[in-house]
Amino acid sequence: MKPTPAPNWTQEEKDLLKTNLTNAEISEKTGRSEPAIRGIRQRLGISTAPTSFEQDKDRSKEQYWKREYDTLHTKYEKAVKQASVSEQLVDLARDLAPITYDPRPSLVVKKKGSGAAQSAVLMLTDTHVGQFICPDQTLGFGGYNFDIFLNRLQFLQDGVTSILEDHTTTKVDELVLCLGGDMLDGALIHGAEAKQKNTLFSQFYGAGHAIAQFIRNIAPLVPKVRIKCVVGNHPRWQNQHKMPTDNRYSNLDQFLYAYIAALTSGIKTVEWSLDQQPFALFDVQGFRFHLSHGDHLRGGDKALGIPNHAVGRMVSSTAQLYGKHDLAAPHYYLLGHMHRGIVLPHARGSVLVNGGFPGLDGYGLMSGFSPVDPSQLLFFVHPKFGKTATYDIQLKFGKSHSYALPPGFDCK
């Protein structure tokens, strides 16, 4: 099909060409393009009066701000669309829950000592449900899949139960469960989600029911369970080259949390905190806690895996932010991401880095990271002394589990 020829120039348009109006101004009045106006002026021998410096300056400003507006408008529309998709997914996650797990009866609590009651804080991070680590590709030292995840989750459950029932002489009035992100492995390994060993839905569905049963089983140990959440960097959307700073909450971890919250909604002693904040800030026995995934801390050496300078900046900048608003800075910073237990003291408390579930994988092997064992952190908080007894629960000893997951979307 031949293109439609441009209409002939009218006398009124030709008269405009002879004025001192700029090509851009004539374009706005006639609807013709600036190159077309410039071309006919040249053919007719019409020279335009040179514009003044102020005119050029004003025009440059207009063009600049128009470009800025267009850029910001595009970003805004994208952010609104992404937030809308995330909210729809969270609503869908709640609707997908076919059941809510019934609470189990409270356990008979053994008589405790007469000291002040303490709170237990359990970190559950970096489970990477859906990750598949093959021993054939890790010199025989690594190995992880969904069954191993369930075995290690069961061992963590048994360890927490044993510590609270048999190794604690003081009354424990609550358990604060910190879900620190990277609960799902996501879909960042391959360009297409279809090539994943475990699809995103299988990861989400399997993790959702397993962790919901874990929460149901530990809830009877204490009068109350408070759950605090942050998202990790692995379950971000595939088109995000790096973790975003805006709408950080919008990823598959948040989707998973909403689903687990729905599955445990029938357990009235469990209290969830779901919001859009990049960090979780909360108090335990009068001490301030700061929970983050830890992917914002860059650098450090591979042998020890400690990003010293980044941790120092975090503590310093957070203290300044709180001090600026006449608030007390956090006492304890809780992190995951690094898959190794690390404790770093600071003036008001300490920085606690949790271990991970998978253990050695191909990335850690080829990057030269020290091959630490999988572990998770449990500790107690006293109203006067702060963090007291601390347990690194070693997950490699988990060899079996009793979780019963719905069939249909098996995770390998």
At 189, is the pLDDT very low, low, confident or very high (cuts 50, 70, 90)?
Answer: low
Residue 100's closest CA among 261, 314, 258?
261
**pLDDT tens by residue, 282-291:** 999 999 999 9
Residue 172 has pLDDT above 60, yes or no: yes
Can you tell me the mean pLDDT for 317-344? 94
Lowest mean pLDDT among 214-223, 256-265, 299-308: 299-308
Average pLDDT over residues 220-229: 97
- Residue 104 CA to residue 158 CA, distance in Å, equals 16
Mean of pLDDT values over 377-388: 97
CA-CA distance, 158 to 166, in Å (whole number)? 11
Question: In the predicted model, is pLDDT for residue 80 greater than 60?
Answer: no
Q: What is the pLDDT of residue 52?
A: 62
Q: How far apart are the first and last CA of the chain?
A: 55
Where is average pLDDT lowest: 42-56, 70-84, 170-184?
70-84
Which has the higher per-residue pLDDT, 101 or 312? Answer: 312
Q: What is the pLDDT of residue 354?
A: 97
Helix-helix angle 23-30:34-44, to 10 degrees: 110
Whether 387 shows a pLDDT value over 60: the answer reads yes
Residue 189's nearest CA partner among 176, 177, 198 is 198
What does the mean pLDDT of the chain come to?
85
Instruction: Report the distance separating Cα 158 and Cα 173, nearest Å.
Output: 19
Which of 64-68, 119-123, 269-273, 358-362 shows the lowest mean pLDDT across its residues? 64-68
pTM: 0.75
Q: What percent of the chain has pLDDT over 70?
A: 80
